[in-house]
Structure 1
Amino acid sequence: MKLLSILHCEALKVLRSSVFWIVVISFAAMPIMIGFVSYNNVPDTGWEPYLTDLLGSITAILMIGFSFTSCWVFGREYADKTISELLVKPVSRLYAVLSKFIIIFLWDIMMAFFMFTVVFILGIFIGLKGGSWPLIVNSFLTYLAASLATMVVSTISALLANVSKGYLAPIGLAFLTVIISNVVATAGFSSYFPWTIPSLLLSGIPLGTASITILAVTGIIGFAGTIAWWRFAEQQ
């Protein structure tokens, strides 16, 4: 079975699941609630502080959301007890893992675009002032870079989902990292903790060599570790 065929099957699993639509609604609801509470009926509100504050506020949402998609795509095989059937099929385990990671990436990137669109439309609805296309585009590119960095660290959730054979442990890790991130940021060590590095990008702070290395190593551990688990670990 070719990679595209496996990829098609994985896409159908996501699209036909109610979880997909729950994630869509959640990603739309959170920025709307935050935006309305903070900026609705506030006079002379501008686009720049709106985008800076709101995009910064949804960093934790991205972290939890992307971690959830990563662990759910892998963890559901254990929760639904379909992992044994998948492993005995004449399908390359490498292709199976790659297809899942591709689906996770497409799902996450779509949700990142969707969330920014919601934020942008909400800003128009509120009636913000002082907006310009260069400002919007620059904010979007900065937000996209932070989103991609968040996707990189979320590979750890995929690995943990396989090691723990479910998605409860990685979901717990996602919430734990949000709490730890606040402590790390307060202590001034954001550039050395993988889950706070995306927030630096969102703040427009250039990443140093150490931060880039930590981010890359974290992503490699999650991605390569998941492949190795499927390839070598004993599956029951």
Structure 2
Amino acid sequence: MITGLVTEFAKLAHATVVRVTTVLVVLGIALICAAMLLAVHTDDPQLAAKLGPLIDPGGWAGYITVAIQVTGAAGFVGYGVVLSWLFSREFADGTITGLFAIPVSRPTIAAAKLVVYLAWGLVTAAALLFTLIVLGLASGLGAIPADVVPSMARQFGLSVFTIVLATPAAWAATLGRSVLAGIGTTIAILVLSQVSVISGAGGWFPFAAPALWAINSDITVTPVQLTLVLPVVAVSVALTLSSWRHLQLDH
């Protein structure tokens, strides 16, 4: 397992797609939210309506609420892209054949990919929250009120939920042997999440429930609904490991 972790970490650390996605997830989301802060003082009623929480309730509370909304969608796509790349690159680079000749089992390699991905995801989640705080202070929001700290904790929690909920992309990328299969699955899940929220069933859709919980919306998300995330992630991981165990070179 140690060998697999070291190898997969080296691959991830030197990958351009991971570096670019890290920048987009951390700086991209934070800069979008900070840029929206600059547009708060506007006389345009249509733009004011679009800014929503940044105007009401405004301040740190509105800023973090917007960050949660952006993270729920953009973060999920970003994590899905990296996970899809991690599990499809062996097929794209033609290195999958070499994995059949090394002493490390294929499920172990897949598990190492998941562990490295999780570690990277947690680092980006922490970096995103830190960057949001720095840009919020730089934008003149002032000291962070005590009642906003729980919202910041939910922002980080949503990132963690988003990281683990992207795991179906790993299975899809393995089955499709393509990064596009994983990314397509990620986008499809995101669309279904939006549909579930619009229909009022978002609390019972594991991919949408964490965002509703984090934003503390009028839609109440119960602990039971949040725990539905666990079986979804467990099944996705199990299917991914099983697929790598039964990989064949001819198809």
Q: TM-score normalised to the size of structure 1?
A: 0.89
- In 1, the alpha carbon distance for the partners of 2:232 and 2:165 equals 6
CA RMSD of aligned residues (A): 2.0
Q: Residue 139 of structure 1 corresponds to which residue in structure 2?
A: 151
Contact 2:193/2:208 (CA < 8 Å) preserved in 1?
yes
Counterpart of 1:221 (choices 212, 217, 235) is 235
Q: Cα offset for 1:156?
A: 0.6
Is structure 2 residue 123 aligned with structure 1 residue 110?
A: yes
Does residue 207 of structure 2 align to residue 207 of structure 1? Answer: no
Decide whether the 8 Å contact of 1:78 with 1:165 is kept in 2: yes
Q: Deviations over 1:156-211 (max 9, x none)?
A: 11011111111101111222222222222111010222221221231235434244
Corresponding residue of 1:67: 80
Tell me by how many angstroms 1:135 deviates: 4.0
Q: CA deviation at 1:234?
A: 2.8
**2-structure distance, mates of 1:152, 1:64:** 12
Partner of 1:58, secondary structure, is helix
Match of 2:180 among 165, 168, 173: 168
1:52 aligned partner, one-letter code: T
Take 2:133 and 2:10, find their aligned partners in 1: how far apart are those partners? 30
Show the 5 A alignment for 1:25-36: 25-36=23-34
Query: Within 1, Cα distance between the matches of 2:162 and 2:71?
Result: 12
Range with bigger deviation, 196-205 or 104-113? 196-205
Instruction: Quote the residue 1:18 is aligned against.
Output: 16
Q: Corresponding residue for 1:159? A: 171
Q: Partners of 2:9 and 2:148 in 1: how far apart?
A: 31
The residue identity in structure 2 corresponding to 1:221 is V
Q: Give, in angstroms, the shift of residue 18 of structure 1.
A: 1.3
CA distance in 2, matches of 1:41, 1:202: 24
Preserved CA contact (<8 Å) 1:46 1:130: no
The answer to whether the Cα contact below 8 Å between 1:200 and 1:207 also exists between their aligned partners in 2 is no
Whole-Å separation in 1 of the counterparts to 2:184 and 2:107: 27
TM-score by length of structure 2 reads 0.84
1-structure distance, mates of 2:178, 2:101? 19
Aligned length: 232
Equivalent residue letter for 1:148: V
Task: Give me the whole-angstrom Cα distance separating, in 1, the residues matched to 2:221 and 2:201.
Answer: 15
CA distance in 1, matches of 2:59, 2:4: 47
Whole-Å Cα distance in 2 between the matches of residues 194 and 226 of structure 1?
19
* Structure 1 unpaired stretches of 5+: none
Separation in 2 of the partners of 1:114 and 1:53? 17
Q: Distance in 1 between matches of 2:213 and 2:236?
A: 21
Asked whether the 8 Å contact 2:197–2:208 carries over to 1, the reply is yes
Q: Which runs of 4+ in 1 moved over 6 A?
A: none
Code of the residue aligned with 2:243 in structure 1: it is W
Measured against aligned partners, the alpha-carbon deviations of 1:46-101 in whole angstroms (never above 9, x if no partner) come to: 11111112222221011111111211111111111111111221112232122111
- Give the whole-Å Cα distance in 2 for the aligned partners of 1:85 and 1:23: 27
Identity of aligned residues (%): 24
Cross-structure match for 1:230: 244
Higher relative contact order (CA 8 A, sep 6+): 1
Cross-structure match for 1:81 = 94
Displacement of 1:212 in angstroms is 1.8
Q: Are the counterparts in 2 of residues 31 and 118 from structure 1 also a CA contact under 8 Å?
A: no
- What is aligned with 1:198? 210
